[in-house]
Structure 1
Amino acid sequence: MNELFRILVLPGDGIGPEVMEQAVRVLKQVSVQAGAHLELEYALAGGCAIDAHGTPLLDETMERARTSHAVLFGSVGGPKWEGLGFDLRPEIAILRLRKELNLFANLRPATLFAPLIEASTLKPEVIRGLDLMIVRECAGGLYFGEPRGIETLADGSKRGYNTETYSTEEIERVGRVAFTLARSRRNEVCSVEKANVTESGLVWREVMTELHKREFADVKLRHMYADNCAMQLVRAPKQFDVIVTGNMFGDILSDLASMLTGSLGMLPSATIGATKTAQSHDQTRFNPAVYEPIHGSAPDIAGKGIANPMAQILSVAMMLRLSLGMPKEAALVEQACIEALADGARTPDLGGNFTTSQVGDAVLTRLEQLAVVST
């Protein structure tokens, strides 16, 4: 491969740097095996950027993200920065990346790897073969709606307020991502909202219905209230193929879905926007895009070397597939993770005693073996 891929690496806070180190090791090995050329740039984001520069994300870092093929993001935040105002909280880093890069769809796969079937708290027969995708709208809704703020009332008490708002354009663009993904999977979409109690939910349902009728009639569509969806994910999760929902519900439901797979440390994510067609290949790519695990910075275990790096490594696999046009290599990374888990390479969250780096070693060993077989 002659193409040069520019990757911005933002390790973040807490366990972020620890799991990112293993993910980058995997990415470098893949690049060597595939003959790909990588240019990795590192920068601060989140709490560490606040400590060093007084802001969660420097303008300079934002510009690097714009000119990158993809951003590999760690986890940010922690108790150290909880007392800061909303304009300085570490999470502003990821929110700013999404907003200014016009990334509006967060893809969160919940796939149960066979070796982990006993790690889930649900019965094996309920979750065996689980493979669902949550498409979360991530540039609008309650997290971005205006007006928002905190005010002091006449009696001295405080009132916090946020606005849940969605437009036709915002709903249609994330809906198209969900319907398109479904066509390459089991061809089913479940649209989730609260149309029974919110106007924004009612508009969401109406727009999704019209979009489906107009452009995606070949895909099966059903609607479900968010509270029922949460219950159904625990009762019968395999009924779902692609779930598409708004920002807040997507945030909550994807965390719930992560535990179906055995651990929050197993779920990667991709945040994408408009597609671009690569010049040298007939492929649709998302450039730029942001790839990150959905787990937090876990400050309680930071520095102990026991954080699960699988979600960060699997985020690399998503990046290879969606932004770098390397689906074969992405599949090899995923298979290497499955085989490493089958060999017992598990951190304490999965009931094992491997360290973070030992799990990375196991994945690299399997990746090397699989590369030999594939050639």
Structure 2
Amino acid sequence: MEPPLGAAGSPLADPRLAEVAIVRLRVGLGDLLCTVPALRSLRRARPDVRVTLVTWAEMEPLVRRMSRYVDALLPFPGYPGIPERPVDGPGLAAFLGTAPRFDLAVQAYGDSGAAREVTERLVRRACGFGPEGGVPGEIGTGEVGPGDGGGWWLPYPRSAHEIWRHLLLVRHLGVPLPPDPARPEFPELPADRRGLARLARWHGLRPGRYAVVHPGATSASRRWPAERFAAVADGLVARGLRVLIGGVAAESALAAEVRAAMRGPATDLTGRTDLGTYAALLRRAALLVCADTGVAHLAAVTGTPSVTVFLSGDPRRWSYGGGRHLVARSGVGCSPCPHLTCPIDFRCATRLPVSAVLERVDALPRLL
């Protein structure tokens, strides 16, 4: 029988650790950006530990941006009960065969029994988020495996902001938090600045003189109607700002719908920037108006004043404060909710008027 981990049994404080897997099975930009402060705290406390982030292969460009805190990406092939992507059966067997390389695996997905199964199948020492309302467990033997009830399992702190959920997790597992632990980050690279310079030449962009409108979001329940985003965009034009419509290529039809509903001019950049160039574009924008999606987290990183339209999403979990990042929402009784598509009358969207969003715009600090 092995002794307890670390001087006080804390898994991430164990001086014997060499290889740690962080199991973060998310596909959202915001999800991974909100994990960075916890990873930064871990690196600061344990620069000797090699950290592997377990997530989907498509997140590799973003994981590269996290290279100061993450040493490797282990592509996740899916698992029954993890809803983001279908399961790659042959890939799953190979994935589980990587387990011996890790000394510890941390379940950082959320309140999910399936994610705990993945974590425990990766390695004998497993810990991380447990069921909300559960009792924190402690490692007493170091022998942690499927079904034995061991491990440092933190009851999922559902009422906390997403950044703090992960900070609380690493603190619970033995990582001291530095001053200002929740500061998000997304490093700007030379290629980002070159990409922005090309956009600025092609479209005549001037820093601080344009606003970005980003109407898209992954789920329909987080997308405000296109005609309302168009009316907000017209309001920005009336306030002397040039309007740029942003988004990924899959949101091109939505952007065209917004543009067609506008009375004033707008430049559609949907699908015409990579992530780094888009962040650089935001960093020099006067403001952003967006749906509850990953670009809102980029604005928090870049310091761009922003208004985020919250519908089904929970602003307690995903919004930022300080007067620079404001929330627009109707506050109906059924919001927030877990539905990807509204099963009733989408009242959280229809009861949020354009005027309320523009009032929030006018309350922002302006960079003109």
**Same fold judged by TM-score > 0.5?**
no
Structure with higher RCO (Cα < 8 A, 6+ apart) = 1
> Greater Rg, structure 1 or structure 2?
2
Which structure carries more strand by proportion? 1
Which structure carries more helix by proportion? 1
Q: Provide TM-score, normalisation by structure 1.
A: 0.29
